[in-house]
Structure formats: structure tokens, C-alpha cells
Structure 1
Amino acid sequence: MNLYFNKNDQKAKFLPREIADSIPFSSNKLPQIYNEFSVNPGSMEAKVMKQTLEECEKPSNEGEEGYCATSLESMVDFSTTRLGKKVKVISTEVNTKESILVGMYKIEVAKKFPANTAVVCHKLNYAHAVFYCHKTVSTRAYAVSMISADGKKMNAAAVCHTDTSKWNPKHLAFQVLKVKPGAVPICHFLPEDHVAWVPY
């Protein structure tokens, strides 16, 4: 299959939990947040941070539990309280200096995890590492090993959503695949810096 992976060069680090918890994380505290991180309120960085806070404050989709993790400890706690202590973390590893990986890839091995649920955490743009994590049901997770036509190997995390009946009909996946909500499973690879927590 022809695949496209974009390498994320923005490597914002997690803050320790005690520091992250001491800094406001709410759109109604934006002036204080900008001051804490020395961000110009009129800058593009300020706009991106505001968008991240608004994304984190939106209600979760029906049938999902959403949470914005501002520290590694809070991500671990959210994932293990929803899935149990016996979990595995999978992610896509782009092992190259190239910023964009495009090409034909052949799947060598696809390991399916037995559970029908996962917590998937998506990296958001912010002054420090913030991930939007959501527990999904009717979701199958896979650890996939692939090789490109020119011999480059990579490991990727993939998820298949088996019930999309409650998704927004305008979701990009439906437009690209020309299908309706609930008609077929929707599968995709996770970008680099996104992680899936799966019970095993």
C-alpha cells in the first residue's frame, strides 16, 4: 500500500506531574498561562495554545471517555484505570532523518491485540507535552511491521474502528472512502508521537 508519514520535529517534553498540576490549564486562565510560559498573547504560539485548550474542553464523543494528559503520570493513570494494569503501549516509529516518508510499503507482520478496546492518545501542540487521550470501544489495535520498496523497515501502530455508526457523517474518513457511518470498519495508522494503550 502507498503510505505517507509526517515526522514531527516539535519535541515538547512532559513536565513532571507536580509542576504540570501547579500551572493552570483552562481557557479562562489564558493570560496567566501566557505569562507562565512567556508567550506573546498576539503570537501564533498563543493562538495554537488557545486552540488546544478549547479542544481539551470540548465534550467527548458519544460512547467515549476523553481526557487531556498534561503529564506522563496522568496519561498512565487515565489509561490504566480504564484498561487495567496489564497494558502495552504501541506507537509508530519513524526511524529516519527525513521529515516526510512517502512510498509503497508491504506489511510483513501484523500482530492483533485481543481486546476490543483501547486508549488512544493524540499529541497536541502546546508549550509542553499535552496528549488528548480517549478510551474507545469497538476498536481493534495492531502492531505492524512494514518494509518499503527500497528496503526501509518501520514499525507502526494501527487501529480499526469497527462501529462508526455514531460518528459525524461529515468525518473525513467517510469522504475519502465514500462510505456512510456504520457501513464498514475504518482503519488507520497512528502518526508518530501518538500512542495506543491496549490490554493484553
Structure 2
Amino acid sequence: MPFESEKFSEILKTFGETGSGEAEMMKKTIEECEAKRVGGEEKYCATSLESMVDFSVSKLGKDHVRAVSTEVAEKNAPIQKYKIAAAGVKKLSDDKSVVCHKQKYPFAVFYCHKAMMTSVYSVPLEGENGLRAKAVAVCHKNTSAWNPNHLAFKVLKVKPGTVPVCHFLPETHVVWFSY
């Protein structure tokens, strides 16, 4: 299956998506995958589970590699406020991780990257109604190469490179790390 902008018309014919919102989403995903690296980041768009594993292992080594993602106890529960559960936060990795973000595409595509100076945490959360989640959080300790217009800087009211930026990962994203 082709996955490149040069063959985009062929891809659209395969999925029958010409001129649709889905076609625009597919084009945006391919463009992001083909974009230049930022700040020394090593990246790869995996179009299969095997290629995700291969990339992650190539960056972390084959010994003692683990994959984690956010787990929510009840899938269709309404969005609510969560607080960190009493059990506490656990650091899983420091600078040895590959994060794979699920992309919008008709089949599985993950934007994987090994960014420098990141920490990965497991964070137990508890909702107002007692629902529990095991969230995965990633903290970027060096954001100096990020776009100054990144949403994180606007929300936090800070500038690139001044403070670490941490965020939770959705359930469909995967973090690989050495332990």
C-alpha cells in the first residue's frame, strides 16, 4: 500500500475518498510524516505494528523494552475531572523512550519519535465518580526547538526552552521505553 504524497491520487482511488474531508485528513497525515525533523528528533511513521516495533527496538535496543499506553477502566464513560490517585506517580523512563502517536488515516499509522530529554510517567487517576485510569504522561525537558506558536506555550503562557512541558497521552498512543 503506497504511503507518500507523490502517490496521493493512487491512495485516494484505493480508498474512494476523492474530495472528502477524509481525503484532506489523509493528506495532512502524509505531509506530517514527510516533514523535516525538528531539533535532532528521530522520527518515523509506522504503517504496521511490525514497523512500529522495529523502529522502537532500533532506537532502544532489543533487551528490556516495554510498551505502555493510557488505560481507562470504562471506555464510554463521560468526560470528567480526574485527580491523581493516592497511590502516586511512578517514573518509567528518563531519556530512553519512543512515543508513537496514532494518526488519522483509514488504516493504522503511528507517528513515532525518539525525542531527546524526555521523561515518561505512569499516573494513576481517579474520577469524581470513582472511575479509575492509568494515564501515561510525557515531560519534555527541552522545548527550545519547538515552534513558538505551539499550543502548549499559549496555554502555559511561557516561551520555548523556559520550562518543561508535560502532557497526558490518549489511549490510542503508545510509549516504548527501556527499563
Query: Which of 169, 172, 175 is the aligned partner of 1:190?
Result: 169
Q: Assess if the C-alpha contact under 8 Å between 2:56 and 2:98 holds in 1.
A: yes
- Counterpart of 2:54 in structure 1 is 77
Equivalent residue, structure 2, for 1:199:
178
Matched residue, 2:6: 28
Contact 2:80 2:127 in 1 (8 A): no
Q: Which residue in the other structure is 1:143 paired with?
A: 122
TM-score by length of 1: 0.83
1:105 is paired with a residue whose SS is strand
Aligned to 1:165, what secondary structure does the other structure show? coil
Looking at structure 2, the residues matched to 105 and 75 of structure 1 have their Cα atoms a distance apart, in angstroms, of: 32
Secondary structure in structure 2 of the residue aligned to 1:101: coil
Residue in 1 aligned with 2:84? 106
Root-mean-square deviation (CA, aligned residues, Å) is 1.5
Q: Quick one: distance in 2 between partners of 1:65 and 1:178? A: 28
Is the 8 Å Cα contact of residues 42 and 113 (structure 2) preserved in structure 1?
yes
The one-letter code sitting in structure 1 at the alignment partner of 2:32 is: E
- In the alignment, the residues of structure 2 paired with residue 131 and residue 151 of structure 1 have an alpha-carbon distance, to the nearest angstrom, of 32
Percent identity for Structure 1 against Structure 2: 53
Unaligned runs of 5+ in 1: 1-22
Identify unmatched segments of 5+ residues in structure 2: none
Aligned length: 177
Deviation, structure 1 residue 46: 1.3
Query: CA, structure 1 residues 106+113, in 2 after alignment: closer, same or farther (shift >3 Å)?
Result: closer
Task: Decide which of 160, 172, 181 is 2:151's aligned counterpart.
Answer: 172
Measure how far apart 1:99 and its partner are.
Answer: 6.3
Q: Which residue of structure 2 aligns with residue 43 of structure 1?
A: 20
Q: Report the Cα offset of residue 114 of structure 1.
A: 4.0
